[in-house]
Amino acid sequence: MDITGTPGETGAHDAAERVLALDLGTGSVKAGVMGPDGRLGETAARDYPLLTPGEDRAEADPARWWAATREVVRELRALPSDPLDDLSGVAIAGQMHGVVLADGQGTPLRPAVLWPDRRAQQQLTRYREADDAALRRLGNPLVPGMMGPILSSLRADEPEVVARARWALSPKDWLRTRLTGPEGVDGPCAEPSDASATLLWDLEADDWHDEIVELLALPRGLLPPIVRSERIVGRLTTSAAAELQLIPDTPVIAGAADTAAALRGADTPPGALQLGIGTGAQWVRPLDGATVDTRTLEPEQGLHCYRAAGEGWYAMAAVQNAGLAFEWAWEVLDAGWDEAHRALEATEPGAQGVVFLPFLTGERTPHLDPGLRAAWLGAGRAHRRAHLLRAVFEGVAFAIRAARDALDGPARDAPVRLVGGGTTEPRWQALLADVLDTEVQVVDEPEATLRGAGLLALSALEGEAGPGPSPLRPRATQRPGPNAPAYQAAFTHYTERVHASRGAG
């Protein structure tokens, strides 16, 4: 593939001062400021709601994304240190798979459809009409919450909206267009780390999969051109800069999908596994080489293969419900995080036989089953509220363990690099180390996605010359403790319950 542009090609600076990194997540947007040393300083975050207009729907209002982005950037600007002074560039990472249908000016024509959405389940049959070679080149399991199936579903259900659309953009690509305007250097565009996660990407050609696009009868012109993740693609418009209280014409970098950005931001070494926990959870293993052999992939196991932020590829196992399950369970039980964490100290591993299945939106790895649902199982009169709370932590951890085993086997000795906003509580870290039965290293930067976006900005502004920022070191290490054997028995019990639940379905 001839990807447009090279790092630093458009308006490169001799040296970067500070860069602004944005992370457009499923439930919140985060902003952070990075200096040329590659370390994040001040950060800010704002939540916004996940809209569920139907039981199988997951949407968001892009206007809320923009309002939250405006608030977090202004919060940083208002700090006494004014970390946004001498700002050299802006880069964005963001949630994967979803789609914003926008007109030629970048204005959304309907709410964004996000990755937990399942409306496109029936559209997956269209993919199975493709020949084996075309499906192999997708290199990924067929799941409904990705751009390709979503667009196919919208074309069937809302043809007038699709007909009016000029662009189908990933969430972070829409936000970037909001910053630069539709007449940026490259206009609306995509980059490989997000585009490869759409079920519209040909892994062998490393470009849009025209055969699949034609099979789904999608307008090819909806798909934006591809540029490098490190490319400067435009500059802040006067209006966007005014709303954000930034300087017009500040360079804006293409950015990357959140998982790819976190892989770059955590400096995960070769041979290690990275676990990111947020709304969902993702296991990531960097792959060797600049190309990928699709014959070696196992999409039937729910395993994914995506482009990295920059060169290369990574394998991924995806857990649908991590933070999503926690937030739902705490709401149902009217509990807070403090009470939930205290329950870990008040109860024993195994939650006295209570099992929580966290499958609110189905599951990807390893079950590839959008019909799975959440439940507490095995509760009796002897159980109390604390057992239900502990069972939620354990159920999410067991789902994470099952995905790891599918990706890399249950007997792996290599350490795990832990990243993401859902990883900061030591009691949760210790539980993960016991359940995974391996060493867990917490990287010295809880916002690895933000850092990865910032590193892309530094690369774009300064080029690849020089040694670059020093790699991160673990700030904490959790090793399996005396509770690990009990968790192995509890994990077996959980696995039996999952199999029984699927058989009953």
pLDDT tens digits for 379-407? 999 999 999 999 999 999 999 999 999 98
| Long-range own/partner contacts, residues 406-410 (CB < 8 A, 24 or more apart) | 406/301, 406/302, 406/303, 406/317, 406/365, 406/366, 407/273, 407/283, 407/285, 407/303, 407/315, 407/316, 407/317, 407/365, 408/273, 408/283, 408/285
Give the pLDDT band (50/70/90) at residue 121. Answer: very high
Would you state the pLDDT for residue 94? 96
Q: What is the C-alpha separation between 387 and 346, in angstroms, rounded?
A: 9
Would you state the pLDDT for residue 17? 79
Would you state the pLDDT for residue 320? 92
With 50 as the cut, is the pLDDT of residue 7 above it?
Answer: no
With 60 as the cut, is the pLDDT of residue 9 above it?
Answer: no
Give span(s): CATH 3.30.420.40, the chain: 18-262, 267-444+473-505
Residue 288 in 3-state DSSP? Answer: coil
CB 425 within 8 A of CB 389: no
CB 315 within 8 A of CB 294: no
Q: What is the C-alpha separation between 284 and 305, in angstroms, rounded?
A: 9
pLDDT tens digits for 10-35? 444 445 678 999 999 999 999 999 99
Would you state the pLDDT for residue 297? 85
Q: Which residue has the higher pLDDT, 491 or 295?
A: 491
With 90 as the cut, is the pLDDT of residue 476 above it?
Answer: no
Return the closest-CA partner of residue 491 out of 410, 381, 420: 410
* CA 408 remoteness from chain centre: 20
With 50 as the cut, is the pLDDT of residue 450 above it?
Answer: yes
**Residues sharing a CB contact under 8 Å with residue 500, sequence separation 6 or more, in sequence order:** none
Bridging pattern class, strands 251-257 and 87-94: parallel
Least confident piece of the model among 65-79, 321-335, 439-453, 484-498: 439-453
Tokens 């296991």 sit at which residue? Answer: 283
Tally Cβ neighbours within 10 Å of residue 354.
Answer: 22
pLDDT tens digits for 179-215? 999 876 668 999 999 999 999 999 999 999 999 999 9
pLDDT tens digits for 228-277? 999 999 999 999 999 999 999 999 999 999 999 999 998 887 778 899 89
Q: What is the C-alpha separation between 252 and 231, in angstroms, rounded?
A: 9
Would you state the pLDDT for residue 294? 85
Would you state the pLDDT for residue 68? 98
Residue 429 in 3-state DSSP? Answer: helix
119: DSSP letter: T
Would you state the pLDDT for residue 270? 72
- Per DSSP (E only), the strands in 171-216 are 201-202, 207-208
**Averaged pLDDT of the chain:** 90
With 80 as the cut, is the pLDDT of residue 8 above it?
Answer: no
Class of CATH domain 267-444+473-505:
alpha beta
pLDDT tens digits for 337-367? 999 999 999 999 999 999 999 999 999 899 9
**Cα radius of gyration rounded to whole Å, the chain:** 22
Class of CATH domain 18-262:
alpha beta
CB 480 within 8 A of CB 438: yes
